[in-house]
């Protein structure tokens, strides 16, 4: 599983743009014109759900490889798949499981109870991003074979 950069900077302007674009597309479709649809940052779409699921799986797999027990329920999405309330609960519970297995950074909001607002989705993806940062820093601090000696000086990486 590969890590894909999360999107956690959605704004009301992104939502407003998405609403305007969808309204424009509907108008064009009713006139019988062909519409070139693009992904909108202000909409939670299949690529967002897939990225979130994949990033959760990535973190869980990484934590398991490092000896942290993380048990999540992963779903592969089809192109015509639509998440329902059970999928949203599963995703939120998966993130809570990762936090339970490892740690939640202090500088992020708590995991939301839903994904109904852009702030909720931002919070979820920001948590995933910060957890990955912490794991990466932890891995970078592992001493390499032959680097430590008795009474030797070893400088640990500093987080700035």
Please give the pLDDT value at position 149.
62
- 35 with 90, same domain: the answer is no
- 35 with 97, same domain: the answer is no
68 located within any domain:
yes
105: left (phi over 0), alpha (psi -120 to 50) or beta: beta
Mean local confidence (pLDDT), 10-27: 96
Instruction: State the residue range of the domain holding 64.
Output: 44-140
152 located within any domain:
no
Please give the pLDDT value at position 105.
85
The answer to whether 125 touches 103, Cβ cutoff 8 Å, is: no
128 located within any domain:
yes
1 located within any domain:
no
Please give the pLDDT value at position 145.
65
SS (H, E, C) 99-118: HHHCCCCCCCCCCCCCCCCH
- 39 with 68, same domain: the answer is no
- 26 with 64, same domain: the answer is no
- 23 with 56, same domain: the answer is no
Please tell me the distance from the alpha carbon of residue 72 to that of residue 58, in angstroms, as a whole number.
11
- 57 with 135, same domain: the answer is yes
The answer to whether 126 touches 109, Cβ cutoff 8 Å, is: yes
125 located within any domain:
yes
- 56 with 111, same domain: the answer is yes
Mean local confidence (pLDDT), 93-117: 92
Mean local confidence (pLDDT), 128-149: 83
- 60 with 34, same domain: the answer is no
Sequence-ordered list of residues with C-beta below 8 angstroms from that of 160, at least 6 positions apart, any chain: none
Our count of domains for the chain comes to 2
- 34 with 52, same domain: the answer is no
94 located within any domain:
yes
- 52 with 86, same domain: the answer is yes
Does pLDDT of 109 surpass 60? yes
- 84 with 31, same domain: the answer is no
- pLDDT tens digits for 22-56? 999 999 999 999 998 888 999 998 889 999 999 99
- pLDDT tens digits for 114-133? 999 999 999 999 999 999 99
- 56 with 22, same domain: the answer is no
Mean local confidence (pLDDT), 75-95: 89
Please tell me the distance from the alpha carbon of residue 126 to that of residue 6, in angstroms, as a whole number.
7
160 located within any domain:
no
For residue 158, give both structure tokens.
Answer: 């500093």
153 located within any domain:
no
């Amino acid at each position: 599983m590969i890590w894909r950069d999360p999107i956690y900077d959605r704004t009301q302007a992104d939502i407003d743009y998405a609403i305007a674009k969808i309204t424009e597309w509907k108008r064009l479709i009713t006139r019988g014109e062909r519409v070139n649809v693009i992904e909108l940052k202000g909409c939670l779409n299949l690529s967002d759900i897939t990225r979130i699921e994949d990033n959760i799986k990535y973190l869980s797999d990484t934590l398991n490889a490092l000896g942290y027990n993380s048990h999540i329920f992963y779903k592969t999405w089809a192109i015509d798949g639509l998440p329902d309330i059970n999928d949203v609960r599963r995703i939120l519970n998966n993130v809570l499981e990762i936090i339970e297995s490892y740690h939640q950074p202090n500088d992020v909001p708590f995991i939301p109870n839903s994904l109904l607002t852009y702030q909720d989705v931002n919070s979820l993806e920001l948590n995933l991003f910060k957890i990955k940062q912490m794991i990466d820093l932890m891995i970078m601090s592992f001493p390499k074979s032959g680097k430590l000696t008795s009474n030797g000086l070893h400088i640990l990486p500093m987080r700035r």
